[in-house]
Amino acid sequence: MGNRKILIIEDEENISDILSHYLQNEGFQTKVANGGYQGLQYVQEFAPDLILLDVMMPDIDGFEVCKRISANHIIPIIMITAKLDDIDKILGMELGADDYITKPFNIREVIVRIKTIFRRIDLISVAAAADHPEYKAIKIGQEIEIYKEKREIYKHGSKIEFTNKEYELLIYLAEHRGRVITREELLDQVWGYEFIGDGRTVDIHVRRIRKKLDEDKQSSIIETIFGVGYKLG
């Protein structure tokens, strides 16, 4: 996991200093932005592998920053907030966040969650390379193609932008095609057992995937199994 870059977007200097110090001790490269607009600039300049994003900032709030980043990049985002509010949490997930941490936090928990996200990305990349060295696409129907080694999704030959968690959720469903998968299994396999959330998180991401892939169809490629979960046919 060494040499991976983490961007910390946090206006409280004491918090950003602590995060940066401990993450560097773990072998990560870090860069700190003290506001939302500076954070957006550093996304381009620093090209981070993961972002720690505070919700409350003086210039532009973290939700808007998350929305802008997720619209153009597949970068894992962990949001940091001073309160645990289900509405804020759901909004963050809808906008593309991968995880949520509440202040005051345990720095070891932050590091574990970061490593869990990177470990999951590594496993997907290794599986992609093992599946086919020539980068064969996973096809869904006639129009959708997934290239795991590039973490890219195409519809009718045009690239569709997905957030990190949307991508991982679709991959999991595609690799278990035809099987009914419970919300609990999806939370465990896609978000990880450390994630504190519920089935609404899965529902939100499925709804977003459908919007991106099914906008011109009468029926969805992801079938809802009432009271249980989802199935990709």
Determine the pLDDT at residue 42.
96
Q: Are 5 and 47 in contact (CB under 8 A)?
A: yes
Determine the pLDDT at residue 135.
56
Residue 16: pLDDT band (50, 70, 90) is very high
- Three-state helix/strand/coil letters over the chain: CCCCEEEEECCCHHHHHHHHHHHHHCCCEEEEECCHHHHHHHHHHHCCCEEEEECCCCCCCHHHHHHHHHHHCCCCEEEEECCCCHHHHHHHHHCCCCEEEECCCCHHHHHHHHHHHHHHHHHHHHHHHHHCCCCCCEEECCCEEEECCCCEEEECCEEECCCHHHHHHHHHHHHCCCCCEEHHHHHHHHHCCCCCCCHHHHHHHHHHHHHHHCCCCCCCCEEEECCCEEEEC
Q: What average pLDDT does this structure show over 85-108?
A: 78
Give the Cα separation of 30 and 50 in Å (integer).
10
CATH of domain 5-118: 3.40.50.2300
Q: What average pLDDT does this structure show over 1-9?
A: 85
Determine the pLDDT at residue 132.
52
Residues 113-157: pLDDT tens digits?
Answer: 899 888 887 776 666 555 554 457 788 877 888 888 778 888 888
Tokens linked to 123: 């496993």
Edge-first strand order for the sheet with 229-232 is: 181-182, 229-232, 222-225
Determine the pLDDT at residue 151.
81
Q: What average pLDDT does this structure show over 98-124?
A: 86
Whether 132-232 and 5-118 are alike in CATH topology: the answer is no
Domain coordinates of the chain in residue numbers? Answer: 5-118, 132-232
Determine the pLDDT at residue 12.
92
Determine the pLDDT at residue 163.
85
Residues 179-233: pLDDT tens digits?
Answer: 999 999 998 888 875 666 677 888 988 988 998 887 656 567 899 998 899 999 7
Determine the pLDDT at residue 133.
47
Give the Cα separation of 131 and 148 in Å (integer).
9
- Tell whether domain 132-232 is in CATH 1.20.120.450: no
Average predicted confidence (pLDDT) for the chain: 85
Determine the pLDDT at residue 111.
93
Residue 50 has pLDDT above 90, yes or no: yes
Among the listed residues 2, 14, 67, 18, the one whose alpha carbon sits nearest the alpha carbon of residue 39: 67
